[in-house]
Amino acid sequence: MKETKDRIDDITTINFSITKCPLKVFKAFSTFCKQETNDNYAFGLKVLLDSREANVKELVLYEQYLKLREEFEALKELVNKTEVTKKPKTMGSGGQK
């Protein structure tokens, strides 16, 4: 169960302003909020922060995928070499390669 302070923080709101924001950044953010959140700047900020967190997770997963892919390719190459060097012996093969 959440503590009282956490529950209060969840429902508390605050007003703030950003000073010296470049016009291009403000316009891009305003356009984003208009298109994605129906002009809700607070929710737009939350969406951007959540997407940043998701991007970090995706990056970590992608790096893990690349590492596993390299290991898989190395193992595949090893298996292919092993298959080429080992031929099954049959009755007529006695010492032939």
Higher local confidence (pLDDT), 95 or 20:
20
Task: Break the chain into its structural domains and give their ranges.
Answer: 21-85
Measured CA to CA, the distance from residue 55 to residue 66 in angstroms comes to 16
For residue 38, the one-letter residue type is N
Does this model's pTM top 0.95? My answer is: no
Terminal CA-CA length for the chain: 72
Angle subtended by helix axes 23-37 and 41-85, to nearest 10:
80
Average pLDDT for 59-76: 91
